Chain A
C-alpha cells in the first residue's frame, strides 16, 4: 500500500479529478433535466386520468401516458447503452434493409427531397434508429433545403442527409457524435441528453458501419451514414 491513488484516465488520457467531477455533475444535471419533464408529465397525466370522467378525454390521456412512458423507456435504454451495457441492443439478425424505403417511412418533409437507392446488410432496428436520429437532427437543428441521397459503392450502402442553415464550427462537428455533447443551438432551443447521435453511431459501428458529420458547402450539415451492402 503506497497511499497513492491510481491516475484518473478518460479514454486512456490522464485527466484532473476536478475535470471528472465537473463532467459527472454536468452529466447528472443533463440526465436530471431530461428525466424531469417526462416524469412530471407522466405523473400529471396519471392524476388527470384518475379524476377524468369524459371518455374522449380519457382515451386522449391514456395515449399521452403511453407516449410519455415510451419516451422514458427509450431514455433509459439510451443511458444503459451509453454506459456500455449492451444487453438492450436488438438481438435480431442482420438482413437486407432498404435504406431509402426506411428513410421515406420516417421523413415528414417533401417527398422529392429523397433520391437514389441503397440496400444495406444490417439489423433493421439499427438502420431505422440511425436514420431516425439523423433525420431528426437535420429537421430540428437545420433548415431547408433538405436532401436525402442514397447510393451504393464498394460494398457499402450510403445515405447522406444534407440540411441548410447556419454553418456549424469544426469543433462542434467534431464533438457532435460524442456522448452527452449538445451543440450551441441545442442548448438554448431543445431539451435533450446529447445521446441520440452517439448511441446511433455505437449501434451502426456494431453492424460494421459508420456515421460521420461534415459542414455543408453553403452552411448547414451533411450527415453521412454507411453500412455494409449485402
Chain B
C-alpha cells in the first residue's frame, strides 16, 4: 500500500461523502474532515490543512470552480483533485487550464487514489525542485 495521505472530502451529497470516507479508509488514508460546500471546505483547510482535497465541482453557496483559486492562493501546499459525475469540454478545459487533475465519479476508487498520490507528489516536487 502506498503512503497514506490526509484527505479532506468535499461534496454536497451525504452518501458520496460517506462512500469516499470508507474508500479512503480502506486504502489506508485518513479523512481530516468532510465539507458540503466550498466555504466549509476552505474553513476546514485553514483549520487543519490536509495533504489533498477531493473536490466536487457543483455545490451550493461556493462551488468547486470558486474554491480552486482561493485554495491555491491561501494554501498552495494542499493538492486538489476535482471529482465530478460528468465532465464536458468546458470542465475538462477549465481543469486543464488550472492544472487540476480531474477524476470522474465511479464505484472504483483506484483512479482517484492514483490521482491523489500524483497530485501530492507533483506539489512536493515543485516545492523541493530547482527554481525555474
**Taking the complex as formed, is B125 at the interface, i.e. its CB lies under 8 A from any CB of chain A?**
no
Count of A interface residues, CB-CB < 8 Å = 25
**Are B18 and A64 in contact, with the CB atoms below 8 A?**
yes
Are B86 and A33 in contact, CB atoms less than 8 angstroms apart?
Answer: yes
Stretch at the interface among A14-22, A184-192, A197-205: A184-192
CA A36 – CA B88 in complex, angstroms? 14
Nearest chain A CB to B28 CB, angstrom units: 15
Say if the beta carbon of A32 comes within 8 Å of chain B: yes
Q: Hey, which chain A residues are within 8 Å of B16, CB to CB?
A: 37, 41
Segment with Cβ contacts to B, from A44-52, A88-96, A125-133, A154-162: A44-52
Interface size class of B (residues with CB under 8 A): 20 to 34
**A37-B60 in contact (CB<8A):** no
Q: In the bound complex, do residue B65 and residue A188 qualify as a contact, i.e. CB atoms below 8 Å apart?
A: yes
Interface string of B76-113 (1 = CB under 8 A from A): 00000000011010000000000000000111110000
In the complex, the chain B residue whose C-beta lies closest to that of A186 is B58
Instruction: Please indicate the chain B residues that have their CB under 8 angstroms from the CB of A33 in the complex.
Output: 85-86
Contact present for A140 and B15 (CB under 8 Å): no
Give the contacting residue for B59; candidates A52, A60, A189; CB below 8 A: A189
Residue pairs across A and B with Cβ atoms less than 8 A apart, 8 shown, are: A40-B106, A44-B109, A46-B107, A60-B18, A61-B22, A64-B15, A190-B60, A191-B58
User: Which residues of B come within 8 Å of A, CB atoms?
Assistant: 12-16, 18-19, 22-23, 26, 58-61, 63, 65, 85-86, 88, 105-109
